[in-house]
Chain A
Amino acid sequence: MPLIGAQPSETGLGLGVQRRRRAGRIGRRTGGQVFTLALILPAVLYFLIWVFLPGGYGLYLSMTDASLISSPQFVGLQNYQQLLHSDEWWQTLWRTFEYAAEVVVPTLLISLVMARLVTRCRRGRAVLMTIYFLPYVVPGVVAALVFELIFQRYGLVNSALHLSLAWLTNPSIAMYAISIATIWSMIGYYVIILMAGYQQIPGELIEAAAIDGARMLQLIRYVELPALRPTLLFCTISSTAAVMTNFGTPYVMTDGGPSNATLTLPLLIYNEAFKYSSAGLGEAMAMVLLLISLLLALFQVRVLFKGR
Chain B
Amino acid sequence: MYSRRGRLAFRAAVLGSALLLTVVACGGGGGGSGDPNGAATLTYLTHFNQVPGSAIEKKVVNAFEKAHPKVKVRIMALQSGTEFTKFQTLASAGSPPDVYLADSSIMSALLSHKVLAPVDYKAVGVRDKNALESQYISGVFDGYTVDGMTYGLPEEYSNYGSWVNVKAFKDAGLDVPTTWDQVCQDGSKLLRKKNGKVVQEEVALPTNLSVSQVYFLDAVAREFGSPLFNASGTKSNLTSKATVNAFTMLQNLVYKCNAAVPSLNSSTQGADRLVFGSGQAAMMFTGGAWYLGSLKQQYKAVAPPISAAYPYPTTGGAEPASESYGYAWVVPKAGKNQTLAWKLAKALADAGNEDFTQMGLFDGRKSVGSSKAATSQPFWTSVWQPALAHSSYAVSLANGSQIDDIIGNAFDDIILHHGNVKSALQNADKQVQPLLNQGG
Contact = CB atoms under 8 A, between A and B. Distances in A.
Given A68-B92, A166-B416, A259-B417, A275 B267 contact: no
Given A148-B267, A170-B416, A258-B267, A68 B89 contact: yes
B208 interface: yes
B417 A170 contact: yes
A87 B401 CA distance: 19
Nearest to B90: A68
Interface stretch (B147-155, B165-173, B258-266): B258-266
B91 interface: yes
Interface in A66-97: 67-70, 87-88
Contact of B196 (A164, A169, A274): A164
Contact of B88 (A68, A87, A166): A68
A69 B412 contact: no
A274 B89 contact: yes
Contact of A253 (B196, B267, B405): B267
Given A69-B91, A169-B267, A257-B267, A275 B417 contact: no
A169 B92 contact: no
Contact of B266 (A87, A88, A168, A170): A168
B364 to A, nearest CB: 28
Nearest to B403: A276
Contact of B412 (A87, A154, A257, A275): A257
Contacts of B370: none
Given A274-B88, A276-B402, A153 B416 contact: no
B399 A276 contact: yes
Given A255-B208, A257-B409, A257-B412, A275 B85 contact: yes
**Which of B84, B115, B402 has most A Cβ within 10 Å?**
B402
Interface string B403-420: 001000110110011010
Interface residues of A, number: 30
B412 A274 contact: no
Nearest to B3: A31
A253 B206 CA distance: 17
A70 B438 CA distance: 18
B60 interface: no
Given A253-B267, A277-B88, A171 B416 contact: yes
B396 interface: no
B431 interface: yes
Interface of B is mostly: helix
A169 B416 contact: yes
B4 interface: no
Interface in A131-188: 148, 152-154, 164, 166, 168-172, 174
A166 B260 CA distance: 14
A77 to B, nearest CB: 17
A28 to B, nearest CB: 11
Contacts of B249: none
A254 B209 CA distance: 11
Nearest to B417: A171
Interface of A is mostly: loop
Contacts of A275: 84-85, 88, 401-402
Given A148-B267, A168-B267, A169-B265, A69 B92 contact: yes
A68 B94 CA distance: 10
B416 A258 contact: yes
B263 A169 contact: yes
B266 A259 contact: no
A236 interface: no
Nearest to B410: A259
Given A164-B196, A253-B267, A169 B207 contact: yes
Interface residues of B, number: 35
Interface string B210-247: 00000000000000000000000000000000000000
A153 B196 CA distance: 12
Contacts of B410: 259
Given A170-B263, A171-B417, A276-B402, A259 B409 contact: yes
Given A171-B417, A275-B85, A67 B113 contact: yes
B5 interface: no
Interface string B178-217: 0000000000000000001100000000011000000000
B198 to A, nearest CB: 8
Contacts of A277: 88, 109, 113
A260 interface: yes
Interface in B255-290: 262-269
Interface string A247-259: 0000001110111
A87 B265 CA distance: 28
A253 B85 CA distance: 19
Contacts of A166: 263, 416
A46 B334 CA distance: 32
Contacts of B401: 275-276
Nearest to A151: B267
A187 to B, nearest CB: 23
B238 to A, nearest CB: 15
**Which of B197, B262, B416 has most A Cβ within 10 Å?**
B416
A272 B405 CA distance: 12
Interface in A18-69: 67-69
Contacts of B88: 67-69, 274-275, 277
Name the 9 nearest CB pairs between A and B, nearest first. Answer: A166-B263, A68-B92, A168-B267, A259-B413, A259-B412, A276-B402, A258-B412, A259-B409, A69-B113
Interface of A: 67-70, 87-88, 148, 152-154, 164, 166, 168-172, 174, 253-255, 257-260, 271, 274-277
Given A169-B267, A254-B267, 16 more contacts: A67-B88, A67-B113, A70-B113, A87-B430, A88-B431, A170-B417, A254-B208, A257-B412, A258-B208, A258-B409, A258-B412, A259-B412, A271-B405, A274-B88, A275-B85, A277-B88
20 contacts: A69-B88, A70-B113, A88-B431, A148-B267, A168-B266, A169-B263, A169-B416, A171-B417, A255-B208, A257-B207, A258-B207, A258-B208, A258-B416, A259-B413, A259-B419, A271-B405, A274-B85, A275-B401, A276-B399, A277-B109
